[in-house]
């Protein structure tokens, strides 16, 4: 029979996943607002960010309450501390989605500098990393978590590629600088989103194995 | 298991088995006890932790048909303290026990502490005075009782009585101090005093504690052994046991999902 504490932990897990889904949607919509030049969608992303922030605070308060009242140990302790850290990463990802939406609105007001090819590719990988990191969290799947961590390199490479390409545009014609800089920002935001997904995956490994794998290269 | 311990050993339990008549209560126990550290024994009721603790000062000798097998080696002398030829009275001077409920003798505070020394034949007033003061200070009780040493021990509060029992145990300069759920009859304030004291005492003496209160084990001990059905299931540093135990049974027990 599930104890009261088990039910509380179940609810906490549910909230983390709801927050994860909200962040996923925010990232997807922010990138779509850029690619499809839909500023209305971008504004919706910005408006909705407060919901992610509110959930961040709510989860934090719940974790603190459980730490104080239930004095969790072992796996329970690791789950609650992991939840606290994961929501910090999710909240930052939400902010980055908001940043992408802001840059999209600015870019949508001017003619397109070039068709977006690498940016949607980066977005796809980063989002995939987030989805799989959350999936690994639900299933306690460390193989999937390890796979997420490995994919971070691809996003880093694409970010560098985008930067070099845009640098070339800026050198060619100074009137490109304002748009190219904004696109560079977006590329960097997506690269950061992948980093946060990596953090979540690392926390999943801690949750399951009790082993801290941050700042260690995974083979 | 000794890989877990880096420091000097005070005692070593090797293949210890214990029988209450036909009942096989402890099964092949192996455990290193580090010098001047606190080792906690945890586990569900009936798992054998108190039986195990009592082996250390030969309490089981009081009843016939009880039988020990294996070794409890006391260092640095390297003697097996459960051998029948080793005098249990002498062992109890060196390895003292504090029980669940405070159990002072119906004597004065002073005589309670001096008791073990008198048993040893020490009757010189000055020496007794010194030892009594030192032990009461060691048990963090001196300031509260120094003006009424000749009052009856029963006049003290429960928490004070328990500290008196600790002072009595300290008087014979034991090498190991055994605690069998020392705070289960005390209120939270008295409990926290005893816990502070246990951490303080490990500068002088090696401590083994049995406790049902897992947070207490977490607060006071350096090492924790989880016992179940007369066996040690897992032994490790306390922080490891409480953050990431290796065994599923340990995990279930300490997260309260056992059975």
pLDDT at B1 over 80: no
Could you tell me the pLDDT band of residue A219, with boundaries at 50, 70 and 90?
A: low
Cβ of A74 and B251 within 8 Å? yes
First to last CA, chain A: 40
pLDDT 10s digits, A70-120 = 899 999 999 999 999 999 999 999 999 999 999 999 999 999 998 899 999
Q: Where are chain B's structural domains? A: 2-103+176-254
Alpha-carbon distance of A201 to A134, in angstroms, equals 8
Asked if B245 and A78 come within 8 Å (Cβ–Cβ), the reply is: no
Examine the pLDDT at A216 and tell me if it is beyond 90: no
The arithmetic mean of pLDDT across residues B179-188, rounded, is 92
Specify the pLDDT at position B254.
92
Nearest CA in chain B to A211: B244
Percent of chain A with pLDDT over 70: 99
> How far is residue B186's CA from residue A36's CA, in Å, rounded to a whole number?
70
Interface residue of B42, B221, B254, B259 to substitute, partner A, most A CBs within 10 Å: B254
Q: Is the pLDDT of residue B206 over 60?
A: yes
> Is A76 in the B-facing interface, judged by CB distances under 8 Å?
yes
Residue of B nearest to A206 (CA): B244
pLDDT tens across A22-59, in order? 999 999 999 999 999 999 999 999 999 999 999 999 99
Token reading at B50: 């108190």
Answer yes or no: do A74 and B242 touch at CB < 8 A.
yes
A131-155 average pLDDT score? 96
CB-CB neighbors (< 8 A) of A71 in chain B = 215
A77 Cβ under 8 Å from any chain B Cβ: yes
Q: Kindly report, residue by residue over A151-163, the tens digit of the pLDDT.
A: 999 999 999 999 9
At A212, the pLDDT band (50, 70, 90 cuts) reads confident
Beta strands in B49-109, from DSSP E residues, in sequence order = 66-74, 79-80, 95-98
* CA closest to B216 among chain A residues: A71
Asked if A73 lies within 8 A of B242 by C-beta distance, the reply is: yes
Residues of A in contact with B250 (CB under 8 A): 74
Chain B neighbors of A73, CB-CB under 8 A: 214, 218, 242-243, 254-255
**How many CA within 13 A on the CB side of residue A175?**
4
Asked if residue A2 has pLDDT above 80, the reply is no
The rounded mean pLDDT for chain B is: 94
- B244–A209 C-beta distance less than 8 A: yes
User: CA of A75 to nearest chain B CA: how many angstroms apart?
Assistant: 7
CB contact under 8 A, A74 and B218: no
Split at pLDDT 50, 70, 90, the class of B258 is confident
> Chain B residue with minimal CA distance to A2?
B257
- Measured in angstroms, the CA of B228 and the nearest CA of chain A are apart by 18
Position B121 scores a pLDDT of 92
Per-residue pLDDT at B185 exceeds 90: no
Per residue in B67-104, pLDDT tens? Answer: 999 999 999 999 999 999 999 988 998 999 999 999 99
Tens digit of pLDDT for each residue in B128-171?
A: 999 999 999 999 999 999 999 999 999 999 999 999 999 999 99
Total Cβ atoms within 10 A of residue B209: 26
**Between B214, B243, B256, which is nearest A210 by CB?**
B243
Q: How confident is the model at residue B186 (pLDDT cuts 50, 70, 90)?
A: confident
CA–CA separation, A36 and A108 (whole Å): 9
The pLDDT of residue A4 is above 90: no
Give the pLDDT of residue A218.
63
User: Nearest 5°: CA angle at A15, between A14 and A19?
Assistant: 120
Interchain contact, B244 vs A73, CB within 8 Å: no
Distance between CA A78 and CA A210 in Å, rounded? 7
> Cβ distance B38 to B198 under 8 Å?
yes
Report d(CA A83, CA A138) in Å as an integer. Answer: 12
Q: How far is B246 from chain A (nearest CA, A)?
A: 9
What's the confidence (pLDDT) of residue A149? 97
Residues contacting residue A125 through CB under 8 Å, at least 6 positions apart: A151, A154, A155, A158, A194
Q: Which of A3, A6, A74 sits opposite B243 (nearest CB)?
A: A74
CA B167: distance to chain centroid? 13
* Distance between B240 CA and the closest CA of chain A, angstroms: 9
Fold of B2-103+176-254: Rossmann fold (3.40.50)
User: Is a pLDDT exceeding 90 seen at residue A203?
Assistant: yes
Residue range A9-19: mean pLDDT, rounded: 95
- Suggest the residue from A70, A71, A73 to mutate for an interface test with chain B (most B CBs closer than 10 A): A73
Question: Percent of chain B having pLDDT more than 70?
Answer: 98
User: What are B's interface residues with A at a Cβ cutoff of 8 A?
Assistant: 214-215, 218, 241-245, 250-251, 254-257
Taking the CA of residue B238 and the nearest CA in chain A, the distance in Å comes to 11
Contact A187, A124 (CB under 8 A): no
pLDDT for res A26: 97
Confidence of residue B12 (pLDDT cuts 50, 70, 90): very high
Confidence at A64, pLDDT banded by 50, 70, 90: very high
- Tell me chain B's radius of gyration from C-alpha atoms: 18
Contact assignment for B255 to A74 by CB distance below 8 Å: yes
Condensed to tens digits (0 to 9), the pLDDT of residues B14-39 reads: 999 999 999 999 999 999 999 999 99
Instruction: Tell me which chain A residue has its CA closest to the CA of residue B214.
Output: A73
pLDDT tens digits, A164-183: 999 999 999 999 999 999 99
pLDDT > 90? residue B259 = no
Residues 6 or more apart whose CB falls under 8 angstroms from that of A54 comprise: none
Across the range A52-68, mean pLDDT stands at 95
Q: Which domains does chain A have, with CATH numbers?
A: 4-209 (1.20.58.220)
Pair B96, B178: CB distance under 8 Å: yes
Count how many pairs of residues, chain A against chain B, have C-beta atoms within 8 Å: 32
Task: Count CA atoms within 13 Å of residue B222 on its CB side.
Answer: 19
- Can you tell me which residue has the tokens 């005492």? B201
3-state percent helix, strand, coil for chain B, nearest multiple of 5: 40, 25, 35
* Chain B, nearest residue to A208 by Cα: B244
């Amino acid at each position: 029979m599930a104890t009261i504490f088990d039910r509380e932990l179940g609810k906490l897990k549910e909230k983390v996943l709801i927050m994860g889904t909200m962040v996923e949607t925010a990232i997807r919509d922010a990138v779509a607002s850029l690619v499809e030049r839909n500023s209305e969608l971008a504004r919706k992303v910005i408006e909705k960010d407060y919901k992610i922030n509110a959930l961040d605070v709510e989860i934090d308060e719940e974790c603190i309450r459980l730490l104080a009242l239930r004095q969790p140990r072992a796996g329970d302790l690791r789950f609650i501390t992991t939840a606290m850290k994961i929501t910090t990463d999710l909240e930052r990802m939400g902010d980055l989605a908001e940043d992408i939406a802001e840059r999209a609105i600015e870019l949508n007001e001017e003619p397109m500098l070039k068709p977006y090819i690498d940016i949607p590719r980066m977005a796809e990988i980063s989002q995939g990393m987030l989805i799989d990191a959350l999936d690994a969290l639900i299933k306690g799947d460390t193989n999937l978590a390890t796979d997420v961590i490995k994919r971070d390199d691809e996003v880093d490479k694409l970010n560098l590629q985008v930067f070099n390409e845009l640098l070339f545009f800026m050198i060619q014609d100074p009137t490109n600088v304002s748009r190219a800089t904004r696109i560079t920002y977006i590329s960097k935001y997506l690269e950061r989103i992948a980093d946060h997904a990596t953090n979540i995956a690392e926390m999943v490994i801690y949750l399951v194995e009790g082993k801290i794998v941050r700042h260690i290269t995974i083979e | 298991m000794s890989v877990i311990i880096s420091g000097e050993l005070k005692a070593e339990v090797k293949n210890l088995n214990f029988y209450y008549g036909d009942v096989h209560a402890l099964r092949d126990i192996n455990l290193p006890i580090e010098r001047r550290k606190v080792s906690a024994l945890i586990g569900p009721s009936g798992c054998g932790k108190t039986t195990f603790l009592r082996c250390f000062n030969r309490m089981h000798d009081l009843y016939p048909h009880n039988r020990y097998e294996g070794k409890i080696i006391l260092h640095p002398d390297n003697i097996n303290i459960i051998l029948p030829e080793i005098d249990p009275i002498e062992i109890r001077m060196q390895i003292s026990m504090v029980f669940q409920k405070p159990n002072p003798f119906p004597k004065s505070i002073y005589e309670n502490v001096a008791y073990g020394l008198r048993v040893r034949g020490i009757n010189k007033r000055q020496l007794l005075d010194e030892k009594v003061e030192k032990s009461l200070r060691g048990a963090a009780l001196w300031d509260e009782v120094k003006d009424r040493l000749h009052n009856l021990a029963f006049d003290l509060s429960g928490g004070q009585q328990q500290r008196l029992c600790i002072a009595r145990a300290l008087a014979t300069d034991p090498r190991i101090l055994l605690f069998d759920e020392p705070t289960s009859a005390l209120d939270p304030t008295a409990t926290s005093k005893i816990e502070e004291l246990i951490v303080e005492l490990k500068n002088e003496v090696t401590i083994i504690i049995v406790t049902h209160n897992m947070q207490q084990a977490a607060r006071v001990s350096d090492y924790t052994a989880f016992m179940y059905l007369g066996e040690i299931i897992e032994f490790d540093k306390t922080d490891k046991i409480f953050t990431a135990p290796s065994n599923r049974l340990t995990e279930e027990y300490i997260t309260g999902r056992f059975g």
